[in-house]
Amino acid sequence: MGPSSGPTIQLFKRFREQWPYIPHEDPEAIDNVVDPRIDLVPSWKEASIGAMERGIQTKKVREDYRELCNLSLFYLTVNLRQPIKKPGAFHHARWMAKAIYVLKIRMFRSHVQMTTREGKGLEEIALFVVLLYSRAWMEAGLATEAAYNDLNLVKDLHHFQEINGAIGKTTLTTFSRHLWYLGADLVGLSLFSEMISMEEKKKIAEETRKEKDLDRIRFNKAADQLINSSLPSLTSSASVRALTLLNIDISFLSLPVDEWEANPASLPEGGVHSEEPQRHKRRGRAWGGDDFIVQRLPNQG
């Protein structure tokens, strides 16, 4: 992305200074050239579009989150849902603000002075943002999906190294440092996930009856081990701890999975909520943000 001075990235600074002279209200001024690499992993593109659509439609979401969704959707679909906003503040520690700047500069790159190196870096980071970062960021507040999303993000970052080795390796190493708090004790919330199959939930329920060494199956194991792991393999008797703390009657675990939804004892009154995105809370400044998203459970009215 080029050199920086203190908290300032020079490309961002130039873009902000040039903004008044960029015809940003003219649709013809927007560069809508699509990077063909967005289709290398179709499931990533599809999942990202879905997450951005949900994010932009959610009422309880900060405006900068909504802006990230809008810009990501344009990159993925060449369809702008909302007007483009004036460049705001940015700081090295606020990664989401940098992601927004990257996507916005890419839209008007023909109107922005930049070196070849800056342009190349812009393309590579923009691709990472729309395929993995934006989706992971917007779904970070879903408590019931946390274990599923984190495990799959580790696998996706590992796979992303085939697209860009430097970004994939760096982000995987950095993300892995923040998995220490995710272990068997939180996998239990995945039983209420809408992303996990009934068969996998059955296996998770079976694993909750087994005593295992909690420290040995925490998420902070080496990435090359995690990419071959599944949620059941990260489950133990400790996985019901989060459920009991939420006053959930865990007797439903002895029932067939297809009967859980009809069992009123399986949910606490009001469902499972995340007051603040779990990962945002732990690394708010590193990843930027402190808002929340509420996850509704399957049989919650």
Q: What end-to-end distance do the CA atoms of the chain give, in Å?
A: 47
Q: How many domains does the chain have?
A: 2
SS3 8: strand
Query: Distance between CA 59 and CA 54 in Å, rounded?
Result: 10
**Domain final position from 122, 138, 154:** 138
Q: What is the pLDDT of residues 68-79, one digit of tens each?
A: 999 999 999 999
What the block records as the tokens of 75 is: 């990159």
The total of other beta-carbon atoms located within 10 Å of residue 222's CB is: 8
Query: Distance between CA 68 and CA 55 in Å, rounded?
Result: 9
Residues 71 and 129 in one domain: yes
- Residue 294 is predicted with a pLDDT of 30
Q: What is the pLDDT of residues 78-111, one digit of tens each?
A: 999 999 999 988 776 678 999 999 999 999 999 9
Does residue 52 form part of some domain? yes
- Residue 102 is predicted with a pLDDT of 96
pLDDT-flagged residues of the chain (< 50) = 3-7, 270, 272-301
Closest residue by Cα to residue 59 from 295, 293, 296: 293
| Residue 87 near residue 3, CB atoms below 8 Å | no
Does residue 150 form part of some domain? no
What the block records as the tokens of 74 is: 């344009």
Does residue 161 form part of some domain? no
Does residue 298 form part of some domain? no
| Residue 21 near residue 105, CB atoms below 8 Å | no
**Domain final position from 83, 115, 138:** 138
Domain of residue 69, residue span: 4-138
- Residue 202 is predicted with a pLDDT of 93
